[in-house]
Amino acid sequence: MDRNAPLGPENLAMGPTSKRLALLASVLACAFCLARPFSLVPFPFSLSTDAAAQAPAAVPKYDLLLRGGHVIDARNKISAVRDIAIAGGKIAAVEAKLNPSDALKTVDVTGLYVTPGLVDIHTHNYTGTGERGSYAGDNSVSPDGFTFRVGVTTVADAGCAGWRNFEDFKQRIIDRSKTRILAFINIVGNGMRGGKFEQDLSDMESKPTADMALKYPGLIIGVKTAHYAGPEWAPVERAVEAGTMANIPVMVDFGANKPERPLADLVTKKLRPGDIYTHMYSGLRGELDPSGHVNPGMIEGRKRGVIFDVGHGGGSFLWRVAVPAIKEGFLPDSISTDLHIGSMNAGMKDMLNVMDKFLAMGLQLDDVVAQSTWHPAREIKQDGLGHLSVGAVADVAVLRLEKGRFGLVDMNGARMDSTERLMCELTVKDGRVVYDLNGISRPDWRTLPAGYGQTGDGRWDGLNPARGTTPGPQRGRGGAAPNRR
């Protein structure tokens, strides 16, 4: 460069020193440009690295993608291979094919069944009070140990608490559980605390029961009457009164079989359409007539709109009742466990074991899934649960149907042999993985760096999220239910 070359007009006013400094700056600029021949930004404006490398990474469209599973969704009449995408705790897309590059996390569920999270509307969960022999105490179980591992994301406690102790139940269990817990409130103010309480007609009051239900709409989803041994209709009548005031259904465990209050009258005269008769295959209250056929009153009750629920429990399911009823076409509207300490290790075991029994009796898998998802959700007026519609809460169960030789047991210890059973591979609640039997959502440890830490991202992982990746609180959300009404 010619050091004596005239400067541009902008430098005419410069003195000799200024001219030399300007010339030096020009030389340095040329040297920088020669050293960076591919730079798109000239030196006087930027010393940054390549602009493309500085651009923020694209935000994934989906948090979680379940790819290639056979989806069963009764509400939407889907039974086909579909991909399911989840974003922000909601179902974002259900399509034949979705692009894995759009998802933060993709899980291959090829060969598995993908269903809505299972909804068990008959459980007993008011534990921790220390009261012996009580379903508001030692007879109940903490739900989290029994739900996610079998694909259940929502339970309805069946009347453990009445209006006098419901708020203790809520604070002690519902608000602290990861499982979504809804509740039938007992018509007995003291709840399901044993004989002297449950036989006390003076503690069966409609108005305070309804008032408590109205205080917690969508959390208290029904009224329960249970275990009454007397001949009076008062427990049923007062439960129906409370249910009418609060616009919620009644569930009836009919207690002792009394000639003064026959089952046929209960389901054809006393209950309203939408009310629920549980323990439908118990054989304890004349569910079969003397000839071995389904009680005609139950058939008429169903025509009136009464709901019939399984409620297996430790003492409410017999092959010798269920098999002939199924053969006559009297199928359950909903499948439920009646989970408690007397059933969890006996014939009932868990939700999938009860579903297996209906597969063994000849029902199709699509029907059994419907009876364990959309049907019970609809019965308790929780239309936001039990399906995989776009925008619905992302509760999902991924199930494997295993083939082999298995045995299934009723309440009296009688076995039925079976050639298939359901196992839960993966459970997603509110868009996050909360159970993963075989680690199908996890990376192979050999692919991770030495000294690896938590491997997940809180946007999809409820088990092993890295610190700082989990949005929102993780506990105290058990009672939250979408689309309450």
Mean pLDDT score across all residues of the chain: 89
Compute how many other C-beta atoms are within 10 angstroms of the C-beta atom of residue 296.
Answer: 11
pLDDT digits (tens, 9 = 90+) for 273-330: 999 999 999 999 999 999 999 999 999 999 999 999 999 999 999 999 999 999 999 9
For residue 278 the two structure tokens come to 């549980």
Please state the rounded mean pLDDT for residues 160-182: 98
Alpha helices in 191-281 (DSSP H): 195-198, 206-215, 234-246, 263-265
Residues of the chain with pLDDT > 70: what percent?
85
Q: What is the pLDDT of residue 4?
A: 38
Q: What is the pLDDT of residue 31?
A: 41
Closest CA to 281 of 340, 355, 217, 332: 332
Using DSSP's 3-state secondary structure scheme, residue 52 falls into: helix
User: Worst-scoring range by mean pLDDT, 11-20, 40-49, 399-408, 431-440?
Assistant: 40-49
Q: What is the pLDDT of residue 56?
A: 58
Find out whether 185 and 166 touch, Cβ atoms under 8 Å. Answer: yes
Report the C-alpha dihedral over residues 83, 86, 92, 97, rounded to 10 degrees: -20
Strand partners of residue 429? 432
Q: Residue 35 above 60 pLDDT?
A: no
Q: What is the pLDDT of residue 404?
A: 98
Q: What is the pLDDT of residue 9?
A: 36
pLDDT digits (tens, 9 = 90+) for 52-98: 445 556 789 999 999 999 999 999 999 999 999 999 999 999 999 99
Q: Residue 43 above 60 pLDDT?
A: no
For residue 359 the two structure tokens come to 């597969």
DSSP state of 171: H
Using DSSP's 3-state secondary structure scheme, residue 443 falls into: coil
The structure tokens 């996610």 sit at 148
Phi, psi angle pair for 462, to nearest 5°: -100, 10
Closest CA to 322 of 337, 332, 336: 332
Q: Residue 25 above 80 pLDDT?
A: no
Confidence of residue 21 (pLDDT cuts 50, 70, 90): very low
Please state the rounded mean pLDDT for residues 11-29: 42
Q: Residue 10 above 80 pLDDT?
A: no
Amino acid letter, 118: L
Confidence of residue 484 (pLDDT cuts 50, 70, 90): very low
CATH topology of domain 116-386: TIM Barrel (3.20.20)
Closest CA to 340 of 148, 181, 179, 157: 157
For residue 115 the two structure tokens come to 């269903």
Q: Residue 258 above 50 pLDDT?
A: yes
For residue 368 the two structure tokens come to 């059994």
Q: What is the pLDDT of residue 58?
A: 78
pLDDT digits (tens, 9 = 90+) for 108-149: 999 999 999 999 999 999 999 999 999 999 999 999 999 999
User: Worst-scoring range by mean pLDDT, 16-20, 314-318, 382-386?
Assistant: 16-20
Confidence of residue 469 (pLDDT cuts 50, 70, 90): confident
Domains of the chain, residue spans: 9-54, 116-386
- Rg (C-alpha) for the chain, rounded Å, is 31
Confidence of residue 32 (pLDDT cuts 50, 70, 90): very low
Q: What is the pLDDT of residue 428?
A: 98
User: Worst-scoring range by mean pLDDT, 340-349, 365-374, 400-409, 475-484?
Assistant: 475-484
Cα–Cα dist 291/306, whole Å:
23
Cα–Cα dist 186/189, whole Å:
7
Q: What is the pLDDT of residue 349?
A: 98
Q: What is the pLDDT of residue 45?
A: 35
pTM: predicted TM-score of the whole model, two decimal places: 0.87
